Amino acid sequence: MSPESYRIRKFPIRHLLFTLAVFIGCASAIAQNEETATDSALAHLQDVKVLFKKVTYRPFSLEYQLAIRQPVDHADSTKGFFYQQLYLIHRGFSLPMVMETEGYNGWHSGNELEKMLHCNDLDVEFRYFNKSRPDSLLWDYLTFEQATQDLHHINQVFRGLYHSKWISTGISRGGETSLIYRYFFPDDVDATVPYVAPMPNDIEDRRIYQFLDTAGGLPTAQKIKRVQVFMLQHEKEVLQRLPLSVKHLHFTAVGGLGAAYELAVMEYPFSFWQISDIDPKDIPVGDNFNDYYNHFMEVFGGDYALFSSLVSDESGVLPYLPHAFMTYETGYYKYNLAPFKNWLHYLKEPNPSAAFLLPGVPRKAYIPAFEQKINAWLAKNGNNIVCIYGGRDTWSACKVSFDEGVRAKRFIIPGANHFAARITNMAPAMQQEFVATLRSMTGLTADLGALK
- Cα 107 from Cα 121, distance rounded (Å): 11
pLDDT value, residue 302:
61
Q: For residue 305, which phi and psi values (nearest 5 degrees)?
A: -70, -10
* Other C-beta atoms lying within 10 Å of the C-beta of residue 20: 10
Determine which helix (DSSP H) or strand (DSSP E) holds 169, and give its type and residue range.
Answer: strand 166-171
Mean pLDDT in residue range 174-193: 98
Mean pLDDT in residue range 168-194: 98
pLDDT value, residue 254:
75
Closest to 168 (Cα-Cα) out of 113, 222, 128: 113
Mean pLDDT in residue range 192-197: 98
- Cα 288 from Cα 294, distance rounded (Å): 10
Which residue has better confidence, 109 or 156?
Answer: 156
pLDDT value, residue 290:
95
Amino acid in position 319: P
Amino acid in position 346: Y
pLDDT band of residue 16 (cuts 50, 70, 90) is: low
- Cα 363 from Cα 435, distance rounded (Å): 42
pLDDT value, residue 260:
86
- Cα 407 from Cα 423, distance rounded (Å): 20
- Cα 79 from Cα 49, distance rounded (Å): 21
Determine which helix (DSSP H) or strand (DSSP E) holds 191, and give its type and residue range.
Answer: strand 191-195
Closest to 87 (Cα-Cα) out of 105, 69, 60: 105
Which residues pair with residue 432 across a beta bridge? none
pLDDT value, residue 316:
62
Closest to 41 (Cα-Cα) out of 92, 98, 84, 81: 92
Closest to 377 (Cα-Cα) out of 405, 412, 403: 403
Peptide bond into 350 cis (omega under 30): yes
Least confident of 66-70, 210-214, 242-246: 242-246
pLDDT band of residue 142 (cuts 50, 70, 90) is: very high
Which residues pair with residue 53 across a beta bridge? 64
pLDDT above 70 (res 12): no
Q: Which of helix, strand or coil describes residue 70?
A: strand
pLDDT value, residue 11:
45
pLDDT band of residue 82 (cuts 50, 70, 90) is: very high
Domain 45-201+370-451 has CATH 3.40.50.1820: yes
